Structure 1
Amino acid sequence: MATDWLGSVVSINCGLTLGVYQGEVSSVDHASQTISLRQPYHNGTRCPVPEVTFSATDIKELKFLDIQNTTNKPSTDRRAAAEPSFMPSVHHGHSHRVAQPHVTSSSSHSSNAPITILRRAPTGSSNSRGATQAIPKKPSVRNGGAGGSMRPKDDECFRDGTDEDLDADFDFEGNLALFDKAAVFSQIDGTNRHGNRAQHHSMPGDQKPLSYRHDENILEGKPVIYRQITVPQHGGKEYCTDSGLVVPSVPYELHKRLLAAAERWGLSFERRLETVGVCSSQMALTLLGGPNRLTPKNVHQRPTVVLLCGPHIQGAQGISCGRHLANHEVEVILFLPNFLKMHESVTSEVTLYSRSSGKQVASIKDLPASPVDLVINCLDCHENGLLREQSWYKSAADWANQNRAPVLSIDPAVSEQHQTVEAKWTLSLGLPLPLAEAESRVYLCDIGIPKSVFQEVGIHYHSPFGCKFVIPLHSA
């Protein structure tokens, strides 16, 4: 009887797809043609379930590794037991061999039916899958279709032995506890667990420098001196740059002496005028939107700038700025009344401006009534404060304040009174003048005066501009 082999250790080969199972025979069911193994091993790995049940159609080969009660049974009975009644179509592949103390018997079975393994859960288990669960498995087919070829080597390397491990939960906390985070980070930042700096010695007496973080400077420099500009006559107000450098203001008399000394050393008024025009136009282009506004694809929305200029040096600086803006495809409108007497620099700048695409008007009525993109104010003069009382000046100032466009004032005059034109930005030249308190943001322009020229008028100077020609100043 096949039941006589209960407790024997057998090896069941289910083919390349399901692999080989070993275990102790726990039951043989004649009705359902199944055999069950307790404490099974799959391809040499302990199965996570206590018992596995096989159908007769799934078994390719069955070997007995250890037969119980061999002393009371003849060898002929062993052959009959090796052919249990639940396997009616078994064909013997080769003769049986008897070994001491083990007996091995093999048989083979061929079937094209779907392969099924019946897994029986342990008694009293709380598993919601039930007492018995069927897991269907199909042979793997390669190359996309039923006509594909099997790859046994790939299955052995990448597929066998994986299904049984899916039921086991991975211990994340236990695995994470194996990682000593403090020790690793102490090696990275060069500190031990007590927070002390790690010092390395290559040779006795030779000590390497301390290790540094990514945001620490490895070069030991001198302390930064933020007051690098000192003046003999203080204007009464101080500014500071974005990097913290102090820039003092100077009275207009000292500023005038500085410009005169620069002209004696070859920095003529014309060269300074062109520098102011370039730097102020660059600042205006940035205020207009820069590359986001001035692109070849945006020619139908070119910005409009109105220049308000007087018949003096400050007016000439504004006209130079307007010429550079017109060269950069900006719609420029120059307001300059028909004066009987103008500074010669204004006349020459108007001649150059007339060769550009900019427009020129002499009456406030010819200025746009709708808001423009930017207004550049160059109405004030350092030498003549009476211009504010003239009608053309008042009309231009009223238009600027009513246009609701932002205003940029270039080199405004020093005045204790509130500025006539409310400017959003103010551009000073070389060194700032003590301007009246206002909401205007002050900028400083580098006009190219050498350091030795500053020293000639008693100013200890170190350039605060860095890599720029126009920098913002903040009230200190």
Structure 2
Amino acid sequence: MAADWLGSVVSINCGLTLGVYQGEVCSVDHASQTISLRQPYHNGVRCPVPEVTFSAMDIKELKFLDIQNTINKPSSGQGAATEPGSVPSGRHGQSNRITHPHATGSSSSSQPSTAPITILRRAPAGSSSSRGATQAAQKKSGVRNGGAGGPMRTKDDECFGDGTDEDLDTDFDFEGNLALFDKAAVFSQIDGTQSHGGRAQHHSTQGEQRPTSYRHDENILEGKAVIYRQITVPQHGGKEYCTDSGLVVPSVTYELHKRLLAAAERWGLSLERRLETTGVCSSQMALTLLGGPNRLTPKNVHQRPTVVLLCGPHIQGAQGISCGRHLANHDVEVILFLPNFLKMQDSVTSEVNLYSRTGGKQVANVKDLPASPVDLVINCLDCHENRLLREQSWYQSAADWANQNRAPVLSIDPAVSEQHQTVEAKWTLSLGLPLPLPEAESRVYLCDIGIPKLVFQEVGISYHSPFGCKFVIPLHRAHQSTH
């Protein structure tokens, strides 16, 4: 009765070592307790051989995937799965019946067969025929390695064991493997929806909203609404700026800015400390403009950037000299222009003495400045207190040289003026809070000079720092304020 099982599609589980095979039963040998499959698949991959034979001792589980061919056959078995180590047989002796068949793909109208399934075992003598696929692959590999018994084959067997080359000559069945993966169901589960009847339904109960999906850079914690106007001033300067994050930064009049610096100085933020902070922040900005780590490297010592400082004999000039000292300390070639026939403030003298210890160059005549374009010009010629400096010859000569040198210009703390700036700057650096600078193509930046929050409050400014993690931030021009 073994012929009754011919043509059935079965799945044979041979354990972790040999894996799972599927195929059509083409031979059942009751005497040797073997079963053969035609056009077999091994773990979902088509085998390189047309037929594979299995021994009962290697079979852990046998399932019938299609029992339609066995329906209404005489003496057909009731179960669709056999116990480990059994093969289908027509004998009634030594039988164990399976009372709960599991037949995948069977018709609902088919009736289960009632033939018994006999479990016969034999002594574990000899190698199993189920290794036919492995042996065939080994033969192919043996030809490549100089023969089936060659030294390379022996080394592979000793290292990796049997079956290492079983699937090397077989292309992976991508379509068959992909068919086992229900991608729509998985994505439906991920998205929290289930496709049913062409419509997407939420798994959530009625009235419950689907949770919001967040990007990796979004905050999932609900917080208070962002207040973008966190700085208010009693005397508005007439202009408003905003940061990259949208915070509004209003401008202040020079009188209010002067009162703010005086209050900070009373609390210990002396002029010397402000000069040092301004020098550090402005030099860091200048180093970034010069190229930063791409320009200032030990391998690029032959192309040191050149910076020209145009300074006057006042506090703004002292701020520029402090910036030049820090630039010189970072291997930048600095040339300081400072007229020596004018009376200088004590702060300027102190900064010049410090700068001279860096080895930087200092000139007092515009004719000694480079004729070829430099990398950067830092303008600190203007003074908030003395507007008459612009009419002096040394100032006009320095301004003309800067405009003709064709180098980009950074102005530090420029004076408020309704007129156009004498030196056309590409970047402007304001301190603390911006002054109402005239409309120009210059890009405005703001520098944190370390004024405490309560010092702002003392002069009537409600202040919350807009700097975040930086000390120099860019400002963008907003609408004209009507306050």
| TM-score where L is the length of structure 2 | 0.64
Deviation, 1:466, is 0.4
| Aligned match of 1:421 | 423
Deviation, 1:354, is 1.2
Structure 1 residue matching 2:258: 3-state secondary structure: helix
| Aligned match of 2:352 | 350
Question: 1:457, 1:358 → 2: CA distance?
Answer: 40
Residue 138 to residue 244, structure 1, CA distance change in 2 (3 Å):
closer
Deviation, 1:413, is 0.4
Structure 2 residue matching 1:224: 3-state secondary structure: coil
Q: Which amino acid aligns with 2:38?
A: R
| Aligned match of 1:332 | 334
Question: 2:275, 2:443 → 1: CA distance?
Answer: 22
| Aligned match of 1:251 | 253
Q: Which amino acid aligns with 1:289?
A: G
Query: Structure 1: any 5+ residue segments left out of the alignment?
Result: 1-21, 25-42, 53-136, 201-206
| Aligned match of 1:396 | 398
| Aligned match of 1:431 | 433
Q: List per-residue Cα deviations over 1:348-396 (Å, max 9, x = no partner).
A: 1111111111111000010000111100000001111111111101100
Question: 2:265, 2:152 → 1: CA distance?
Answer: 93
Structure 2 residue matching 1:44: 3-state secondary structure: strand
| Aligned match of 2:456 | 454
Deviation, 1:189, is 3.4
Deviation, 1:475, is 1.1
Deviation, 1:192, is 4.3
Which range is displaced more, 331-340 or 274-283?
331-340
| Aligned match of 2:238 | 236
CA contact 1:327–1:357 (8 Å) conserved in 2: no
Residue 462 to residue 177, structure 1, CA distance change in 2 (3 Å):
same
CA contact 2:142–2:150 (8 Å) conserved in 1: no
CA contact 1:313–1:346 (8 Å) conserved in 2: yes
CA contact 2:306–2:332 (8 Å) conserved in 1: yes
CA contact 2:202–2:210 (8 Å) conserved in 1: no
CA contact 1:141–1:150 (8 Å) conserved in 2: no
Structure 2 residue matching 1:460: 3-state secondary structure: coil
CA contact 1:198–1:211 (8 Å) conserved in 2: no
CA contact 1:197–1:210 (8 Å) conserved in 2: no
Structure 1 residue matching 2:351: 3-state secondary structure: helix
Query: Structure 2: any 5+ residue segments left out of the alignment?
Result: 1-24, 28-34, 41-48, 50-138, 479-483
Residue 196 to residue 227, structure 1, CA distance change in 2 (3 Å):
farther
| Aligned match of 1:103 | none
Deviation, 1:196, is 6.4
Structure 2 residue matching 1:237: 3-state secondary structure: strand
Q: Which amino acid aligns with 2:399?
A: A
Deviation, 1:338, is 1.4
Question: 1:241, 1:197 → 2: CA distance?
Answer: 41
Q: Could you say which structure has the larger radius of gyration? A: 1
Question: 1:266, 1:448 → 2: CA distance?
Answer: 11
Q: Which amino acid aligns with 2:467?
A: F
Question: 1:226, 1:234 → 2: CA distance?
Answer: 17
List aligned pairs for 1:160-239, cutoff 5 A: 172=175, 176=178, 179-193=181-195, 198-199=203-204, 210=211, 212-215=213-216, 216-239=218-241
Question: 2:423, 2:286 → 1: CA distance?
Answer: 17
Question: 1:159, 1:295 → 2: CA distance?
Answer: 54
How many residue pairs were aligned? Answer: 342
| Aligned match of 2:469 | 467
| Aligned match of 1:78 | none
Residue 391 to residue 176, structure 1, CA distance change in 2 (3 Å):
same
Question: 2:338, 2:194 → 1: CA distance?
Answer: 74
Question: 1:428, 1:406 → 2: CA distance?
Answer: 17
Residue 196 to residue 284, structure 1, CA distance change in 2 (3 Å):
farther
Deviation, 1:233, is 1.1
Residue 143 to residue 366, structure 1, CA distance change in 2 (3 Å):
same
CA contact 2:26–2:36 (8 Å) conserved in 1: no
CA contact 2:410–2:429 (8 Å) conserved in 1: yes
Question: 2:414, 2:451 → 1: CA distance?
Answer: 19
Q: List per-residue Cα deviations over 1:396-416 (Å, max 9, x = no partner).
A: 000001101110000000111
**Is 1:45–2:37 an aligned residue pair?**
yes
